[in-house]
Amino acid sequence: MGSNMKLMVAQLDLRGKRVFLRADLNVPLLGDRIADDARIHSALPTVECCLAGGASVVLASHLGRPQGRDPRYSLKPLAFRLQELLGQPVTLAPDCAGPVVEKLATRLAPGQCLLLENLRFHEGETANDFGFARSLARLAEAYVNDAFSVSHRRHASIVGIPRFLRPAAAGLLMQRELLALARVLDRPRRPLVLMLGGARVSDKLSIVRHLVPMVDRLLIGGAMAFTFLKALGCETGGSCIEIDQVPAALAILDDARNRDIPILLPEDAVAATHLGDRHHLCIVPAGRIPVALAGFDIGPVTVSRFREAIRDAGTVVWNGPMGAAEEPAFASGTESLARAVAGCSGLTIAAGADTVAAIQRAGVAESFGYLSLSGVVFLEGLEGRELPGVAALSGMARPLAAAAR
């Protein structure tokens, strides 16, 4: 990942400068109310670092996937929340680029913060449009990327701006993410156990294929496990599977077997007729689920097997809940494993907003070595390839260890 070679925000002299700070404030909304402000809290240390260093901050983020300018995706609720958390005014710009926004940016005094409107209101953001990136760069005199979770995307605010605006440094959250990856990639303590769950198999299979050679054990739960079970010819009932991904899942199982790397799949599951069913819950064999039922959580036998598989782990990396953990009736497997991982003596890393939320509900967040809100992006980083947003940052003159002294 090259984490030791990138310029860090703490190394910049920001006195009197305007900083374009790209954060990931893509929070879930219920109407105009923020349902979970964890991403805002994660961005605060870098915002405060820049302000304390004598800079003014032009803060930018996307929110959702709007098709053009859509008031439902305005960052207005985020401006109010940032004001509360920072304890100072945060102005929301009417747009994220253009003459009016440039005037607002140039009027900022050191210690002040301007929040740009949703970057994705402009199609130039996702298209990495040259002109749009240049217009964003005109708003500031230095660039800081603290949005590790979207640094796999070649968007204007991620890879376009650094072409025009230098220095380009990593924020504090980005720095922590890169260092956590380095701890896994650079001579990890073994056994290295990768534990995967969640529902979106297609998002992860290509990554899993690349990760198999570097792990000692692979534990697969959640809805994605049913695609692997289907690949083995099992009966999965009405459980969520991605039938077009079955051949890829089978190829991964064959590769792991050839490398003598154990892959543990669920042996039992908590099943019901549908996600809202609270009256017909039952424990069934994960490979013989009746056609009228679907699996929504791992069962107690699987919890016990997975717990035993991580007992001696030197490193555990976990991404994805073991079931529909947002529903209390199907949260037991995920929360039981959260407590088991928290009790490991090795390095424990959890990645992904849903995974972190489940760990917090289990009350064991403080016992994890590192919690990342970046899910698939963290897994991509584990492949060892440099993400576009990281590659776009300036190199630094001193090794990170020397800079920390």
The per-residue pLDDT for 4 is 53
**The two three-digit tokens of residue 152, written as one number:** 């796999």
- More confident position, 339 or 385: 339
Separation in Å, CA 288 to CA 103, 186, 200, 293, 323: 65, 41, 22, 10, 17
The structure tokens 């050191």 sit at: 110
pLDDT at 401 over 60: no
High-pLDDT (> 90) share of the chain, %: 88
pLDDT in the model for residue 132: 98
Q: How far does Cα 250 stand from its chain's mean position?
A: 27
Q: What pLDDT shows up at residue 67?
A: 92
Q: How far apart are CA 216 and CA 3, in angstroms?
A: 24
Q: What pTM does this model have?
A: 0.88
- pLDDT tens string 43-78: 999 999 999 999 999 999 999 999 999 999 999 999
What pLDDT sits at residue 84? Answer: 97
Measured in degrees and rounded to the nearest 5, phi and psi for residue 269 equal -145, 150
pLDDT at 403 over 90: no
399 upstream amide cis, omega within 30 of 0: no
Residue labelled with tokens 């929070």: 27
Chain segment 91-124, per-residue pLDDT in tens: 999 999 999 999 999 999 999 999 999 999 999 9
Taking only the tens place, the pLDDT of each residue in 187-213 is: 899 999 999 999 888 878 888 999 999
Tell me what pLDDT residue 398 has. 46
The type of residue at 386 is E
pLDDT at 185 over 80: yes
pLDDT in tens, 156-179: 999 999 999 999 999 999 999 999
CB-based contacts of 240, cutoff 8 Å, min separation 6 = 199, 223, 226, 294
More confident residue, 147 or 202: 147
Q: What φ, ψ does residue 21 adopt, rounded to 5°?
A: -110, 110
Query: Which amino acid belongs to residue 199?
Result: A
Statement: residue 296 has pLDDT above 80? yes
**Residue 147: its pLDDT value, please?**
97
With beta carbons less than 8 A apart as the criterion, state whether 7 and 391 touch: no
pLDDT on residue 405: 31
Q: Residue 126: pLDDT above 80?
A: yes
Residue 54 in tokens: 């004598």
Under CATH, which number does the domain 3-173 receive? 3.40.50.1260
Q: What is the pLDDT of residues 263-292, one digit of tens each?
A: 999 999 999 999 998 888 999 999 999 999
Is the pLDDT assigned to residue 3 strictly greater than 50?
Answer: no
Q: How far apart are CA 176 and CA 160, in angstroms?
A: 23
Same fold, 3-173 and 180-382: yes
Q: Is the pLDDT of residue 399 over 70?
A: no
Distance CA 220, CA 363 (A): 23
Domain 180-382: which CATH number of 3.40.1160.10, 3.40.50.720, 3.30.1280.10, 3.40.50.1260: 3.40.50.1260
The pLDDT of residue 396 is 64
pLDDT tens for 358-384 read: 999 999 999 999 999 998 899 999 888
**Is the pLDDT score of 397 beyond 70?**
no
Token duo for residue 73: 């995706």
The dihedral over CA atoms of 202, 203, 204, 207, expressed in degrees to the nearest 10, equals 110
Residue 402 has pLDDT above 70, yes or no: no
Domain limits, the chain:
3-173, 180-382
